[in-house]
Structure 1
Amino acid sequence: MPRLVVVSNRVADPRKTAAGGLAVALGEALNATGGLWFGWSGNIVERNEAGTQAQPHIQRAGDVTLATVDLTQEDHDAYYLGYSNGVLWPVFHYRLDLADFDAGYIGGYRRVNRLFAQQLLPLLRPDDLIWVHDYHLIPLAEELRALGCRQRIGFFLHIPLPPPLIMAAIPAHEWLIRALFAYDLVGLQSQTDLAHFARYVYTEAQAEQAADDRFSAFGRELRVQAIPIGIDVDEFAMLTEGREAQETLATMREQYAKRRLLVGVDRLDYSKGLPQRLRAMRSLLQRYPGNCNSATLIQIASPSRETVGAYNDLRRQLEGLCGSINGNYGELDWMPIRYIHRTVARKRLPGLYRASRVALVTPLRDGMNLVAKEFIAAQDPADPGVLVLSRFAGAAEQLRDALLVNPYDSDGTADAIQHALHMPLEERQARHQRLLANIREYDVHWWQRRFLEALQQ
């Protein structure tokens, strides 16, 4: 197999379990090919220390080479905070009201993608396979092609792709889609995303379908497939048996011996539907009073982009809702919601998942959502918990045996939670067996192989 070159906004050491997500997914192929992982260092430097002539920082992580570049404050603010997370993130999650279209961030976004291309090009070999990740780097292939790069380049979008009319709200939206046609392969999380892409290129770019998964537009041909990302089920099962997870499981069972636990684990982000989830809990207590002094939701909301105003507003809203619900329904020895605004160690999460009767994974929109799959992997097959899953998460296309809900419907979600809390053991076992079979078949190794095989064809 040719050497794999991975490009993403941030770089992680694939040897470290705590790196999670992308590092676990790509570590196998990177190690097998003596691969290169390229991205931003995380460092902000003065302008005269950065720039296109600076050399990338190179270090080894076993058989993998890590290459990183620094950014100036101006470039970071425009490329990362501004265009990536101030325009693309809200629009791709259907939140046009939160997008900052008028700030002129696009210049910085283009400039940093050009910088990445200039710094990466000298590190490439003629037969490399290049795999670019996520919305921060949509135009990277076009910048590489302009410098003469002829290697095969694939792109995977980890977040959802919006419908054409929402996409068209972005100034220069055609430029973004045109840039995708510089890739050889684009991978999307779901069939819904693939349908949105097809509708866009047909209506906005007058594309022609050259084959089942090939589109011709802008004088180029592009292959696009839905290749949903998974988790390493065996790795997560091993974490579940680890010391930290077992300690957490024992603590939860001791402290909540007379309670039924529900769990939510999310970044603090407006796409995750956290206020709606808390309102569903309030509806559960109103509609089904038997849950009072019995059911407890542990909601972990890890800090995220705390310098952005929308996130501070969300945090205040959540704190207000938690205070109101706990104040109205709590007892001296019981609170319906335990809200935790910090990151919980990944090694402890499986214990929390296994101790919980129900997981609430109810984003308003999500590309995939791997918490849903991790919850399934952590369960005891003899006495599994129940997954309540938003139909607007990409995972819902695969995990049809979860209880699918509309997170905007508080009463409907409350009804599903009540069903989950009282689901008979036999039904829980049957649903879990089918869900576990699905995440095993379509795990992270399948995702990696499927994408790279398609890229090499």
Structure 2
Amino acid sequence: MRLVVVSNRVSAPDREGKIGVGGLAVALRAALRERGGIWFGWSGRVAAAPAEHPQIVQRGKVGYAVVDIAPIDRDEYYLGFANRALWPNMHYRLGLTQFSRAEFSGYMRVNRRFALALAAIIQPDDLVWVHDYHLIPFAAELRRLGITNRIGYFHHIPWPPIDVFGALPGSDDLLAALKAYDLVGVQTERDAGNLARSFAETPGGTPDAAPRIIALPIGIDTAAFRIAAQRAESNSVVARTMSELGARRLVIGVDRLDYSKGIVERLESFERFMISNPDRRGNVMLLQISPPSRSEVLEYEQLGRQTDETLGRINSTLGDPSWMPIRFVKRAYTHAVLAGLFRNAAVGLVTPMRDGMNLVAKEYVAAQRPDDPGVLVLSRFAGAAAQMREALIVNPFDKFEVAEAISTALLMPKDERIARWRVLFDGLCRQDIGWWTQSFVDALTGSANAAAPPFLSPGVSRTETIA
């Protein structure tokens, strides 16, 4: 049985087989290599007259099938409905949600075009696994073309309550489209409950009409990341950073520059920590790494300016010629560099306002030294908080609470740090990326290896959890 993975963006590998190192790329590359299959999606390129059929690059047992899109498709499907409507809505940000019927039409049109392109190369026994909010209607479009294969969908970002999601025009159409999937996976029990209730409470909806829903938190390649952190001790960027830091203790945050990540609030929380602990001035530094994201969207441009203003105010007010409290870097680093920086950070500050999972939290823990680990400070609104209870769980909207957690983390005795880390690390090893991938595939195929029995939440039907 061949696996066909579908995601919004696909980077075909070079001749050495190297592809992107993002969490999704790492997760799915292993599954495809083991089973053989196709990875299908947008090439990332915009063309005036994109070809109807996908371009396929074969690398071993895996074919990378990509399609270009037209400028209007990029504006309406990607920058428009996906990122100006769905993304803020699903992160509970109704005030930032912008709906346009033209953009919704473009979103549906591109999903239809993608389905046509995949239908031309799909085989009768292929297992199709679709990923994330860009492609909610994808299975429905395949079904209209007569495709009867088993099709699963995994939603990587939060699924909000029906009172939030239902405020989005077109939400009923999207829920109807989800019913074309044989299995829908989400990150947490909360997301699963929200989605199941959305089906039940939508006008004309009933639980029996809902697809099978499974809560399955995504993991990381724990062993590989730990090895990368160990090897990164000699990395030139890591070595230079730690040399410049000297005896100061490092607090680290790593996020895309996105309003869901709470970066401005995090800077202000660190400011509150420094104000409340004047003896720490000059002895602790926050390194925030935030590569720009979706700069063509107005809200992200505004966030960039707000971040710069906040950073400038804090550093000019609290810093001195020999020390700045916050070093802010707007560029991406390799996993090797990040692993080394995580390993040397006394505190991992992961405080999104809302997040489907947040793999940075897991990577920080995986990178730590077993005999002298750092402490994870984690937002209660990140999906990872449901698994990582031994972290210091905080409300990212409360700057005083986050500031107090930073202080607690820096003062925590080594034996307590080790005890917390061991529980967290053991969990990452048990539920790593291989476990996540195999568990979803087993659930989609109905394999006897499926990892958990059905789970029913109060008032929620046809929902499962694997944990």
- Tell me the TM-score normalised to structure 2 length: 0.92
Bigger CA drift: 436-445 or 197-206?
197-206
CA distance in 1, matches of 2:434, 2:12: 18
CA distance in 2, matches of 1:184, 1:205: 22
Determine the structure 2 residue equivalent to 1:273.
262
- Matched position secondary structure for 1:70: strand
Is it true that 1:341 corresponds to 2:343 in the alignment? no
Report 1:4-153 matches (<5 A).
Answer: 4-13=3-12, 15-16=17-18, 18-46=20-48, 49-50=49-50, 54-102=52-100, 104-153=102-151
Bigger CA drift: 428-437 or 60-69?
60-69
- Shift of the alpha carbon at 1:19? 2.6
- Shift of the alpha carbon at 1:294? 1.1
Contact 1:245 1:352 in 2 (8 A): no
Matched AA of 2:110: V
Determine the structure 2 residue equivalent to 1:414.
403
- Shift of the alpha carbon at 1:163? 0.9
CA distance in 1, matches of 2:29, 2:212: 25
Q: Is the alpha carbon distance of 1:29 and 1:102 closer, same or farther for their aligned partners in structure 2, counting shifts above 3 Å?
A: closer
Determine the structure 1 residue equivalent to 2:287.
298
Determine the structure 2 residue equivalent to 1:429.
418
Contact 1:240 1:246 in 2 (8 A): no
CA distance in 1, matches of 2:234, 2:83: 33
Determine the structure 2 residue equivalent to 1:174.
172
Report 1:57-456 matches (<5 A).
Answer: 57-102=55-100, 104-205=102-203, 207-208=205-206, 215-217=207-209, 221-243=210-232, 246-456=235-445
Matched AA of 2:115: A
CA distance in 2, matches of 1:303, 1:115: 29
Contact 1:135 1:157 in 2 (8 A): yes
CA distance in 1, matches of 2:379, 2:404: 14
CA distance in 1, matches of 2:303, 2:119: 41
Matched AA of 2:72: E
Bigger CA drift: 194-203 or 237-246?
237-246
- Matched position secondary structure for 1:216: helix
CA distance in 2, matches of 1:242, 1:384: 16
- Matched position secondary structure for 1:66: strand
Q: Is the alpha carbon distance of 1:244 and 1:345 closer, same or farther for their aligned partners in structure 2, counting shifts above 3 Å?
A: farther
Contact 1:245 1:348 in 2 (8 A): no
Q: Is the alpha carbon distance of 1:17 and 1:36 closer, same or farther for their aligned partners in structure 2, counting shifts above 3 Å?
A: closer
CA distance in 1, matches of 2:226, 2:18: 17
Bigger CA drift: 28-37 or 357-366?
28-37
Count of residue correspondences: 443
CA distance in 2, matches of 1:240, 1:371: 13
- Shift of the alpha carbon at 1:444? 0.5
Contact 1:239 1:245 in 2 (8 A): no
Contact 1:240 1:350 in 2 (8 A): yes
Bigger CA drift: 296-305 or 340-349?
340-349
Instruction: List gaps (5 residues or longer) in structure 2.
Output: 447-467
Contact 1:384 1:429 in 2 (8 A): yes
Matched AA of 2:328: Y
Contact 1:12 1:19 in 2 (8 A): no
- Deviations, residues 125-154 of structure 1 (Å, cap 9, x unaligned): 111100000000000000000000000000
Contact 2:11 2:19 in 1 (8 A): no
Bigger CA drift: 192-201 or 274-283?
192-201
Provide the aligned C-alpha RMSD in A: 1.4
- Shift of the alpha carbon at 1:20? 2.7
- Shift of the alpha carbon at 1:13? 4.4
Contact 2:232 2:238 in 1 (8 A): no
CA distance in 1, matches of 2:363, 2:191: 23
Bigger CA drift: 141-150 or 190-199?
190-199
Matched AA of 2:34: A
- Deviations, residues 47-80 of structure 1 (Å, cap 9, x unaligned): xx226xx221111122100111111001111010
CA distance in 1, matches of 2:197, 2:205: 9
Bigger CA drift: 250-259 or 279-288?
250-259
Determine the structure 2 residue equivalent to 1:212.
none
Bigger CA drift: 179-188 or 197-206?
197-206
Bigger CA drift: 236-245 or 90-99?
236-245
- Deviations, residues 203-227 of structure 1 (Å, cap 9, x unaligned): 215655xxxxxx422xxx5110100
Matched AA of 2:122: L
Matched AA of 1:287: S
Matched AA of 2:131: H
- Shift of the alpha carbon at 1:102? 3.3
Detail structure 1 runs of 4+ shifted over 6 Å in the superposition: none
